[in-house]
Amino acid sequence: MSEKVKIGIIICDRYHTCAGGKCLRAIRNKEGAFAQYTDAEIELVGYTTCGGCPGGNVEYTGEEMVKNGAQVIHLATGLLVGYPPCPRVQTFKAFLEERYGVRVVLGTHPIPTKYLDLHTRLGTWTGPAWEAMLAPTIADQATRDAYN
């Protein structure tokens, strides 16, 4: 490993009881949005919720994570695959990047097949903006199936 990357994860408050199993597995296996850290060791320095709509905890969470050394903050896959997807995810990204000068990545673990199939049928994720937003978490079929 050539470097260490310190990350924070912000999850949707709808899933506030999530133990983070899929995110932690994806970190360990460097899958989904964590595939970009192939040559780095990942250190998780923060994990919390947005605080519920409209995301009041994002401001304070970002500050705490950066104080703890976060170089990158990941907005969890749940913000993208929940129904409806978080309408503020791009606002959170822009705010955190501007306010704290930290890189923000949309997604954590690979999108499970069941969510990809459902949102495809519903037409939730249409257009080039969604393609770019989902890109870090779209994996191959076998990986998506493993996260069902």
pLDDT in tens, 24-57: 999 999 999 999 999 999 999 999 999 999 999 9
Q: Considering the chain, what is the average pLDDT of its residues?
A: 95
Rg (CA), the chain: 14
What's the CATH number where 100 sits? Answer: 3.40.50
Tens of pLDDT, residue by residue over 84-123, are 999 999 999 999 999 999 999 999 999 999 999 999 999 9
What number is the average pLDDT over the span 73-86? 96
Say whether pLDDT at 133 is over 70.
yes
**3-class SS letters over 18-74:** CCCHHHHHHHHHCCHHHHHHCCEEEEEEEEEECCCCCCCCHHHHHHHHHHCCCCEEE
Confidence of residue 127 (pLDDT cuts 50, 70, 90): confident
What integer pLDDT is reported at residue 48 of this predicted model?
Answer: 96
Please give the structure tokens belonging to residue 96: 């955190």
Domain that holds residue 42: 3-146
- What value does the mean pLDDT take over residues 136-141? 94
Q: What are the tens digits of pLDDT across the range 51-67?
A: 999 999 999 999 999 99
Q: Examine the pLDDT at 1 and tell me if it is beyond 70.
A: no
Q: Give the pLDDT score at 7.
A: 98
Banded pLDDT at 5 (limits 50, 70, 90): very high
Helix/strand/coil for 82: coil
| Structural domain count of the chain | 1
